[in-house]
Amino acid sequence: MLGEEIMEKKVVIIGAGYAGILTAKKLAKKCKKQDDVTVTIIDKNPFHTMLTELHEVAANRVDEDSIKISLKKVFAGRKVTVKLDTVTAIDFDSKIVAGACENYAYDYLVLAAGSKPTFFGVPGADEFSYKLWSYDDAVLLKEHIMNTFRAASGETNEEERKRMLTFYVVGAGFTGVEMIGELAEYVPILCEKYEIKRSEVTLVNIDGLSRPIPNLTEKLSAKVTKRLEKMGVQLILNSFVTKVGKDFIEYKRNDNVRHSSAGTVIWAAGIQCADITKEAGSSLEVQRGGRIQVDKYLRSTKNENVYVIGDNMYYIAEGEKNPVPQMVENCEQSAHTAAHNITCALTGEGQMEVYKPAFHGVMVCIGGRYGVAHVGLPNHFFSLPSFLAMFAKHFINIIYFIQVLGWNKVFSYVKHEFFTVRNCRSFVGGHFSNRTPSFLLVPVRIWLGAVWLFEGIMKIVEGWFTAPKLTGFFGGASAWYESILNSGAAGAATDGLSTATTSAADTAVKAVAYVSNAVQAVTVSTDAVSSATGAAAGGAVADAVTGATGAAESVAAAVGHVLLNFDFLGLFKVIFVTGADLAESTLSDFAFKLDVPLMNWFVNKLILPYDGVQLAMQIFIVVAEILIGLALIGGLFTTPASAFSLVLQFMFVCTTGLYLGTFWMVFAAIAVLIGAGRTLGLDYYAMPGLKKLWKKLPFVRKWYIYND
């Protein structure tokens, strides 16, 4: 009824981890037209943390900010309310979530609070070990490792120095192996920096397991062992830590207890559900590790208004013997099912979805250069070699980032993993790392801009604003290529080579093909064309060619050689020729062209038959060349100017072709494509301001089409 108050349906999500953040985004998308539905996500941090990348920060491979994703940015332009709060209790009867700051009423609750380390009752483990399960943990550990090496470099007592440089990582599962591998890769860098011998550093990975990462096949576990040992890591397996102290660690093996001095103990031996999940377990059905039992729709078996996902859920899928693993892929898939089923419950429409997880394997990185992977489809798994394993790992991360923060996060991830990587610690080494100082590209940028500016001005001088020129510009070049191709095939020119009947006409047409210097080519060819036709100087290239054609009674053989003439399935043809004798050819005699039928149709049917269209196209080309030139010289909008420079060059390659002497412009445009305008250029001043204005636009924030 008109004026009747709309009753809100409230969804509250506890936790902005992998599962919680995706559930909130999916619900916002599904319910964007439901004005009566509100979605609230609660977390103690204003950011989402990439837990799988913590070891990279701890060992200083990437910047600490690279593993944080702002919740404000994630949910910009979406119907999701972000609350910075710590949940202390849940009243399931009253449907109230109690926080340290305020209370939150709900109709449907999503429990995705994640996990925390478990210490299995080992004395001193919590108090004296470093953890690796949060952003703060990673930053604290990074600073501790660096400070340890700094202090050890000045320690004169050998025993104390040895203790300080002894690192134990407890746990040989995913987190433990990745942490010790990352540390083993980092240690030589620290040793060089602080002038410490590598032999003075002791790295130990200890666990009660019989082999590292039992989720992998025995063969891959053996590869992990071999790699770690090669990196100088001692593996102590079938051993259980019994005590951790300020400067020691004790472990038991075969009823023998060993006491070892240690400067750093990093605990990565297992996880359990977060405190709030454990507290909720007193009202809900709880299983091993504090995980909450759910039904096939991911609802708590004790409360249908409560959905439990990610690490907090305990669910054995149909046909399986073990519960779903506490892994990112389970978080992603359970978020999808939970969002779908909650939407069905909110709207009363659609069929609820049974959770049928399909996991695609596991991947482990041992430092930034080596990895192992066992991936595939259910019942069809296979192992990947190291390079492909690392590639797959980064590719999967990118897929996740696309879901969470789109282009913005993908760009920053690729940047810190490949282009600003420290000490070449990447599976592609440092080949893509931006080590060249950008100011060295300034002369290239300015010269490229000057050439484009000169091209545009000369075209104006030659009358590109007043008369159609493209018939001769395109047609002459095409005839020159045909003359060489056909003479190479038949030994003499065919009927279609009438435009090359005299050496003077050939010179004119050949000059036109020199696209990047097209205007100069027309100028150079004027005298030759006039000589061939008897016409007054200044005639169009097309007229010159026509005159030369009419004047000749026989067709002369074309000079030149075909080096490559490859037709790719009829889609395009790659042509590479020289316009002179091969032995006498210089770089400026070799020409390259992509003959694209679609492009030819466009030019011949839509441009050349109409003088007005030709003139408009000419004006567009001239203006573009001048603007590109000015932009590059001034360093303003360098990236779009370089990109458009490449577009023009590609267009020329597909119509008239380019001599190899002008290909430097292509490579120069690629070289200055990114960031070259920030050094001694106006982009240094303009881009930060424009970036701020761009990010304020609602659709830009919503679709993440910006980068930080």
Per-position DSSP letters for 474-505, written without gaps between them? HHHHHHHHHHHHHHHHHSS--GGGGGGSSHHH
SS (H, E, C) 76-89: CCCCEEEEECCEEE
Domain shared by 174 and 229, yes or no: yes
Non-local (6+) Cβ contacts of 192 within 8 A are none
For 381, the token pair is: 């798994």
Alpha-carbon distance of 126 to 244, in angstroms, equals 9
Look at residue 6 in the predicted model and tell me its pLDDT.
59
476 shares a domain with 601: yes
**529 and 515, same structural domain?**
yes
Determine the average pLDDT of the residues in 55-75: 94
> What pairs with residue 236 in β-bridges?
206
> Is 693 within the bounds of a domain?
no
Could you say which of 314, 329, 358 is where a domain stops?
Answer: 358
Range of the domain at 105: 9-118+273-358
DSSP state of 133: S
Asked if 224 and 300 sit in the same domain, the reply is no
Question: Within this chain, do residues 632 and 509 fall inside the same structural domain, yes or no?
Answer: yes
pLDDT, position 490: 42
* E strand residue ranges, 336-459: 361-365, 371-377, 380-384
pLDDT above 90: residue 427: no
Cα(262)–Cα(245) distance, integer angstroms: 9
Q: Which of 323, 358, 393 is the last residue of a domain?
A: 358
Same domain, 248 and 289: no
Q: Are 482 and 553 contained in the same domain?
A: yes
What is the reported pLDDT for 432?
A: 77
Q: Tell me, yes or no, whether 347 lies in a domain.
A: yes
Distance (Å, whole) CA 219 – CA 206: 20
Tokens of 242: 């019994």
Task: Tell which of 358, 373, 401 closes a domain.
Answer: 358
The larger pLDDT score, comparing residue 306 to residue 433, is at 306
CA-to-CA dists, residue 56 to 17, 142, 422, angstroms: 18, 9, 11
CATH number at residue 150: 3.50.50.100
pLDDT number for residue 497: 33
Least confident of 150-159, 240-249, 373-382: 373-382
Nearest by Cα to 335 from 554, 41, 21, 95: 21
| Angle between the N-to-C axes of helices 470-490 and 611-634, in degrees from 0 to 180, rounded to the nearest 10 | 90
Q: Report whether pLDDT(507) > 50.
A: no
pLDDT value of position 685: 93
- Higher pLDDT, residue 90 or 530: 90
> Alpha helix (H) ranges present in 165-305?
174-194, 218-230, 275-280
What confidence score (pLDDT) does residue 430 get? 78
- Does 708 fall in a domain? no
pLDDT band at 540 (very low <50, low <70, confident <90, very high): very low
Query: Is 702:77 a contact under the CB 8 Å cutoff?
Result: yes
Longest dimension (CA), the chain: 108
- The two tokens of residue 409 are 């996060």
Question: Measuring CA to CA, which residue among 433, 390, 397 is closest to residue 52?
Answer: 397
Backbone angles phi, psi at 268, to 5 degrees: -140, 45
Q: Is the pLDDT of residue 519 over 60?
A: no
Q: How many domains does the chain divide into?
A: 3
pLDDT of 147 reads 97
Please say whether the beta carbons of 228 and 181 come within 8 A: yes
Shared domain check, 645 and 501: yes
Length of the chain: 708
Q: How far apart are CA 359 and CA 199, in angstroms?
A: 42
7 or 295, which is more confident?
295
**Res. 371: pLDDT tops 50:** yes
- Residue type at position 414: V
Cα–Cα distance measured from residue 57 to residue 68, given in angstroms and rounded to the nearest whole number: 11
Residues 500 and 553 in one domain: yes
Q: What percent of the chain has pLDDT over 90?
A: 73
What residues contact 688, with CB distance under 8 A and at least 6 apart?
none
> 366 lies in a domain?
no
**Cβ(468)–Cβ(622) under 8 Å?**
no
- For residue 364, report the phi and psi dihedrals to the nearest 5 degrees: -135, 130
618 in any annotated domain? yes
pLDDT digits (tens, 9 = 90+) for 357-366: 999 999 999 9
| 262 and 282 part of one domain | no
Residue type, 245: G
Q: Is residue 410 part of a domain?
A: no
What are the pLDDT digits (tens) for 586-612?
A: 998 999 999 999 999 999 999 999 999
Residues 457 and 606 in one domain: yes
**pTM for the complete prediction?**
0.78
Task: Tell whether 494 and 349 lie within a shared domain.
Answer: no
Strands 240-244, 248-253: pairing kind: antiparallel
